[in-house]
Amino acid sequence: MDKEDIPRSEVPPAPYHVLKRYRGIGGGVGRLYEVRNDKTGNAALVLMPGPKGELRPQEDWEVRLTSHVAPPYLALEVERAPVDGQPQQLAWMLDRWATALVRIEERPEAQAHLAAGAQKPPPPPETGHRSFVGTVAMAALLALGVTPGPSSTPEPISPTAPPALAVDKQMPPVQLLTDAVQAIALPMPQGPFKGQNRPPCKSKHEVVIRGGCWVEIASRPPCGDDAFEHEGKCYMPGYSAPRPPQALNP
What 3-state class would DSSP assign to 139? helix
Contact 239, 196 (CB under 8 A): yes
What 3-state class would DSSP assign to 112? helix
Mean pLDDT score, 160-167: 50
pLDDT above 70 as % of the chain: 65
Q: Write down the pLDDT at residue 75.
A: 92
On the question of pLDDT at 14 being above 90, the answer is no
Single-letter code of the amino acid located at 174: V
Q: Name the range with the highest mean pLDDT among 19-28, 85-94, 205-214.
A: 205-214
Mean pLDDT score, 208-217: 89
The more confident residue out of 244 and 232 is 232
pLDDT band per the 50, 70, 90 thresholds, residue 182: very low
Q: Write down the pLDDT at residue 74.
A: 92
pTM recorded for the entire structure: 0.47
Alpha carbon distance 42, 121 (integer Å)? 8
Residues in the chain: 250
pLDDT in tens, 170-180: 544 444 434 44
Q: Write down the pLDDT at residue 133.
A: 54
Measured CA angle at 168 (ends 67, 7), to 5 deg: 95
Q: Write down the pLDDT at residue 42.
A: 93
